[in-house]
Structure formats: C-alpha cells, structure tokens
Amino acid sequence: MKGLFIVFEGIDGSGKSTQLRALQERLRQHGIDPLAIREPGGTPVGEQIRQILLERPWGMEPLTELLLYEASRSELTRTVLRPALEEGRVVLSDRFAMASLAYQGYGRGLDFTLVQKFNRIATDGIEPSLTIVLDVPVAVALARKREAFDRLERAGREFHERVRAGYRELAQQMPNTLLVDGTRPAHELAEQIWQRVYERVRGGR
C-alpha cells in the first residue's frame, strides 16, 4: 500500500467525527486531499447495511450483528479503501476493525478469536497506519449525545462501559495506536493528532 490509512475509534460521543473533520481540513491546508469514509457504510451496499444496523428498531443476535458489520467492511475495503491506498491517497476512516473487537467482542461478549477471524477476512489484510482512540467517560459521551438516535446508542450504560474498557485495553495492545483524552478541548486534541499525523506525512508515510 502506497497510501496512508488513519482510523478514528472510540465510543459514541467521543468526538471521532469532529476530530476526523479537523484533520481532513488540516491536510487540505497542506495540499493533501484525503478520502473520508465511515463504518458501517461508505458504499451503496454498506449504507443499506447501516440502516439495518443502526436505524431500524429490530433486535438481533450478536453474531448476526457482527456478520453485518463485517459484510459492510468487506465491501468498503475491496471497492473503496484498497483502490484509494493503492493510488497513494490518505484515507481517514470513522471506525474500522477495532470497532468490532470493542463492540461485538467486549460489548456483546462474542469470542475474540471469532471476531478476529472475520476481521481478517473482511479487511483483506489491510491494517491502519495509525489508529487514534478517543477516550471519554461514558457519562460525558452520553451527555454530549443528549438523545439516543440509533440502536447501539440505546444499548445501555453497562454496554458502553464494557466497550470503553475494551477500547482502552486494545489501545495498549495494538501497534500504531494513539490513545488520547477526549475530554480535552477540541482544538488541543486536533493539534496533538496533527503532530502525530504530520510525522507520518513528513516521513514519507
């Protein structure tokens, strides 16, 4: 892969989307036009899966949930992500494979080996150049959201506590991962993230 793949992770309300947009703008100021993608979604198939996962009121089995996320990820990886990286582009993603470990592994209690196996298949061997995990207390994240709009956000506080704990552990275990305090002012976080990304850009990725 000639490109640079940067992923933003964290519980809902952690500030992922805000920081992704800030980095996107900063890169543009430096003459780099990044591609921004999101999970689930990013393709016609993925957006339909996103509606089933997040916008429909249906309950579903944890394994069904995982397989739907992986299906969306597989479509995105093969039709959008890999071609962009092969072209040498910078790609910014709102979630990737770590999200399944945190949400379906830690949150839903699925076997980690199973989640990792499906992650490897869906990602086609692609790993992030850098993963930025924004860590905030669940109470802070819920206060930011104010209202629960999707199915995962309505999963309950204990679920989100497990997911947050999972993200914190994964950030310590996985390579090329930066754990940041998401309660800090947004402009300070954006600067911290930019300095880490700039090292990659300046160093030839």
Report field, pTM of the whole predicted structure over 0.85 = yes
E strand or H helix at 63: helix 62-76
Average per-residue pLDDT for the chain: 93
Question: pLDDT digits over 75-101, tens only?
Answer: 999 999 999 999 999 999 999 999 999
Q: Give pLDDT, residue 64.
A: 97
Q: Which two tokens stand for residue 111?
A: 């076997």
Q: Give the residue among 123, 189, 47, 94 at the shortest CA–CA distance from 197.
A: 189
Question: pLDDT digits over 6-51, tens only?
Answer: 999 999 999 999 999 999 999 999 999 999 999 999 999 999 999 9
Question: pLDDT digits over 44-57, tens only?
Answer: 999 999 999 988 77
Pick the CATH number of 4-202 from 3.40.50.300, 3.40.50.12590, 3.30.450.40, 3.90.180.10: 3.40.50.300
Whole-number Å distance between alpha carbons of 164 and 149: 19
- Give the β-pairing of 130-135 and 90-94: unpaired
Q: Give pLDDT, residue 7.
A: 98
> Which residues are within 8 A (CB) of 126 and not within 5 positions of it... i.e. 6 or more apart?
1, 5, 77, 81, 82, 85
Question: pLDDT digits over 158-188, tens only?
Answer: 999 999 999 999 999 999 999 999 999 999 9
Q: Where are the domains of the chain?
A: 4-202
Question: What SS3 class is residue 82?
Answer: helix
Q: How confident is the model at residue 151 (pLDDT cuts 50, 70, 90)?
A: low
More confident residue, 59 or 62: 62
pLDDT at 149 over 60: no
Q: Give pLDDT, residue 56.
A: 77
Find where tokens 């397989």 sit: 67
